[in-house]
Structure 1
Amino acid sequence: MQNLNLPNYKFKLKSNENKTLIFDILRKKYMVLTPEEWVRQHFVHFLIEDKKYPTSLIALEKQLTINNRKKRTDILVFDKEGKHDIIVECKAPHIKITQAAFDQIARYNLKLKAKYLIVTNGLDHFYCKMDFKNETYIFLKGIPDYK
């Protein structure tokens, strides 16, 4: 898999039926290693190991319904009170991050009301803090460490 613009982490990999699998520490099972999963797993480890977010506050591929359609967030982080804090939208490294990715995460956030939005393809990361009063987001250099 491609090197990403994130720290290197030790992953458990294995092969099964000509597919490479990666162990997901949150779902506690092996997942098919796609380029998007590679980015998701790196970002999960970044949140846990570098930003110190507790694993108990992170959910992967959480389902939500928007306009009677089922959608899934890639990574959803909760705060200590159980409110939505951060939504992370992961794209494969070869996918250029466009306005469409921001539109997608913004639609999710109309329902979830998270404080921070992140869009990443593993190479480029865009961090935003919501300004609910002015119905916009403010770009940041990163996200705060867990407190």
Structure 2
Amino acid sequence: MQKLNFPTYTFRFKNSENKVSIFDEIRKKFVILTPEEWVRQNVVRFLLKEKKYPKSYINVEKVIKINSLTKRYDIVVFQPNGKLFLLVECKAPEIPISQNTFDQIARYNMVLESEYLMVTNGQNHYFCQMDFENEKYQFQNDLPNFKSKL
């Protein structure tokens, strides 16, 4: 797979019916390895290894309802009190991050109300902290580590 703008991590792969799968340690199963999944799995490792977020606080690919439409978020991280801390939107490396990407995660966050947002295509990462009072987000250089924020 393509080299991404993350530290190098070790993953488990398997081949089945001419398709490569990668083991998702959050979902505890092998999933088909697409370019977007490659980004998603690297983000999960980044959150676990670099940011020290506990595995039990991370959720991957769950369904949410937005204006009666069924959507799927990529990754969320919960706080110990159950509130959402981080919402992550992953795109394949060849998909440029655009205003549409930020609009998409903002729509999801109107329902989810996460404190932080991350948008990435594996090459470029954008971090935002929500300002709910003024209904906007402020770009950040990085995400807080687990111990310092949660």
Bucket of the pairwise TM-score, normalised by the shorter protein: over 0.9
Tell me, yes or no, if the aligned pair for 1:89 and 1:118 is still in contact at 8 Å: yes
Deviation at 1:89, TM superposition (A): 0.1
Q: Which residue of 1 aligns with 2:68?
A: 68
Q: Which residue of 2 aligns with 1:14?
A: 14
Tell me, yes or no, if the aligned pair for 1:87 and 1:117 is still in contact at 8 Å: yes
| Secondary structure, aligned partner of 1:110 | helix
- 1:22-45 C-alpha deviation (Å, 9 max, x unpaired): 000011110000000000000000
Unaligned runs of 5+ in 2: none
Deviation at 1:133, TM superposition (A): 1.1
Distance, in Å, in 2 between the alignment partners of 1:116 and 1:33 is 27
| TM-score, normalised via structure 1 length | 0.99
Deviation at 1:62, TM superposition (A): 1.6
Q: Which residue of 2 aligns with 1:42?
A: 42
| Secondary structure, aligned partner of 1:81 | coil
| TM-score, normalised via structure 2 length | 0.97
| Secondary structure, aligned partner of 1:48 | helix
| Secondary structure, aligned partner of 1:111 | helix
Distance, in Å, in 2 between the alignment partners of 1:114 and 1:14 is 34
| Secondary structure, aligned partner of 2:72 | strand
Give the total of aligned pairs.
Answer: 147
Distance, in Å, in 1 between the alignment partners of 2:92 and 2:6 is 14
| Secondary structure, aligned partner of 1:108 | helix
Tell me, yes or no, if the aligned pair for 1:62 and 1:76 is still in contact at 8 Å: no
**Alpha-carbon RMSD:** 0.5
Unaligned runs of 5+ in 1: none
Map residues 119-138 of structure 1 onto 2, 5 A cutoff: 119-138=119-138
